[in-house]
Amino acid sequence: MTPEESAPGPDAALADEPEVRQALAEADRAAVAGIVSEHPASPLAWAELADLADSEGRPLEAYAFAAASAELAREQLATAGWQPGTAVPWADEPNRAYLRALDTQRRAAESLGLADRAAALADELRSADAEAPARIASEFTPTQLITIVPAEQPAEGER
């Protein structure tokens, strides 16, 4: 390595957000928007809200919430020295908020008929971590609607 060359920097990483992770772990679906209100600069909180909207079939909201998450993540990464197009590895858990947001925004863009935007988001996701699309598909399940079916009540005489 010559003196003009510099050693490659470490992979970019978002800050860990233990208080947001804890709040989300303890929250139900209705509480996620409140967590975003309490932590409006959190890429993770916005990514969760985007996934929630996506799982409920609301692509406009999913797109907007994911865009907010991705933009906040880009700002945080840039402050740490990241340059667009460089690695943001899935292996570093806090980075998953950014990568998930890109994927959610991509899916929403496809649903909205924004093919060029969806392709650009897919490219951004692959340039951040080439394995992320497959990891998201295999390891991450967006919040899903769960239908609660009450157990049948026994008839009066059967109790």
Question: What is the residue extent of each domain of the chain?
Answer: 18-158
Rounded Cα distance, 131 and 138, in Å: 11
Average pLDDT over residues 77-84: 92
Residue whose pair of structure tokens reads 């390891």 in the numeric block: 139
As a whole number, the mean pLDDT across the chain is: 86
Residue range 18-158, CATH number = 1.25.40
Which amino acid belongs to residue 40?
P
Average pLDDT over residues 14-22: 95
Q: What is the pTM of this model?
A: 0.82
Q: Could you report the per-residue pLDDT of 118-145, keeping only the tens digit for each?
A: 999 999 999 999 999 999 888 765 544 4
For residue 39, is pLDDT > 50?
A: yes
* Contact (Cβ atoms closer than 8 angstroms) between residue 87 and residue 95: no
* pLDDT score of 44: 97
Average pLDDT over residues 65-77: 98
* Contact (Cβ atoms closer than 8 angstroms) between residue 25 and residue 8: no
* Burial class of residue 59 in the structure, from the number of CB atoms within 10 Å of its CB (0-12 exposed, 13-18 middle, 19+ buried): buried
For residue 149, is pLDDT > 70?
A: no
CA separation, residue 11 to residues 1, 49, 127 (Å): 20, 26, 13
Rounded Cα distance, 39 and 54, in Å: 20
Rounded Cα distance, 63 and 65, in Å: 6
